[in-house]
Amino acid sequence: MSDSQDGSAGGNGFHPAALTAQVDPALRRREMVERQLRRRGIRDERVLAAMLSVPRHEFIPPEFANEAYSDRPLPIGHGQTISQPFMVAAMAEAPGLSGDERVLEIGTGCGYQAAVLSLLVREVHTVEMYEDLAVDSRERLRRLGYGNVQVHVGDGTLGWPDEAPFEAIIVTAAAPDIPPPLAAQLAEGGLLILPVGTPDEQRLLRVQKHGSALSKRALYHCRFVPLVGQYGWKPKSG
Ligand code: SAH
């Protein structure tokens, strides 16, 4: 089948955008899981099942609904983005979660990564600095039935000491370095997954706590929005 040169819908009412909108989201998720995740090396069947189950289109602004399952990050307001599906899956897979953990996420955004994590662990705490994003995500997660997620408002570079220690901490914004409070709030043997580098380019690190020492392994190259706050980047003025 060739593309129509004039791009018109013709007389039969066929229009590619209309078609995309009509495709069953469950079908689009299946395609996403096969093409973007399994084919690129995500192996953890629990992670793949969670990505198949969470309705990503419910987490993004309606004007991007048609793009919900495409292979890229999408805007969610305040200049922030929901990560590309592959990166969400890679971050969920990296700590090797088995089901009984308590996990801290820094950077709730629209709540999508928190929803995926909630299917993999006992309890998720997630911290967002923008109150309106946190309020919307709290409401959305409740409506969609993700009952084991608690959304907090604050500077996530300070972690969430009231609920520490955590078996895993996942940071979904780019840090200049490892924020010391996050390392301190890891359980013994716990894993911290975070992008570290410059505002333009980072490596996703897997950091494990052994007593007072940390071992680090670099995973993927990546590009996240900046982590701002006391142990992050300074917020842009103006
Ligand atoms: N995990 C999110 C992606 C969020 S993008 C999702 O699934 O949608 C990164 C988020 O980190 C943004 O919402 C941004 O506001 C938030 N953020 C940046 N610095 C922060 C900080 N110090 N504390 C808490 N949240 C922060």
The domain that holds 63 is classified in CATH as 3.40.50.150
- Which pLDDT tens digit goes with each residue over 16-33? 555 555 689 999 999 999
Q: What is the DSSP string of 177-190?
A: S--HHHHHTEEEEE
- Which pLDDT tens digit goes with each residue over 150-197? 999 999 999 999 999 999 999 999 999 999 999 999 999 999 999 999
Q: Do 232 and 175 touch, CB atoms closer than 8 A? A: yes
Which amino acid type is present at position 1?
Answer: M
Domain count, the chain: 1
Any domain includes 15:
no
Any domain includes 137:
yes
- For helices 85-93 and 45-53, give the axis angle rounded to 10 degrees: 140
Any domain includes 152:
yes
Residue of the CA atom closest to atom 19 of ligand 1? 227
Joined tokens for residue 134: 């946190």
Any domain includes 14:
no
Any domain includes 150:
yes
The CA distance from 170 to 125, in Å, is: 10
- 130 pocket-lining for ligand 1 (C-beta < 6 Å): yes
Mean pLDDT for the chain overall? 92
- Ligand 1 centre to CA of 156 (Å) is 8
Lookup result for tokens 């990564």:
113
Which structural domain, as residue segments, surrounds residue 97?
25-222
Which amino acid type is present at position 34?
Answer: E
- 172 pocket-lining for ligand 1 (C-beta < 6 Å): yes
pLDDT for res 9: 41
- Bridge partners of 221, per DSSP, are 203
The CA distance from 191 to 209, in Å, is: 7
Q: Which residues contact 18 (CB under 8 A, 6 or more apart)?
A: none
- 80 pocket-lining for ligand 1 (C-beta < 6 Å): yes
**For every one of its 238 residues, what pLDDT tens digit does the chain have, with 9 covering 90 and above?**
333 344 444 445 555 555 555 689 999 999 999 999 999 999 999 999 999 999 999 999 999 989 999 999 999 999 999 999 999 999 999 999 999 999 999 999 999 999 999 999 999 999 999 999 999 999 999 999 999 999 999 999 999 999 999 999 999 999 999 999 999 999 999 999 999 999 999 999 999 999 999 999 999 999 999 999 999 999 766 4
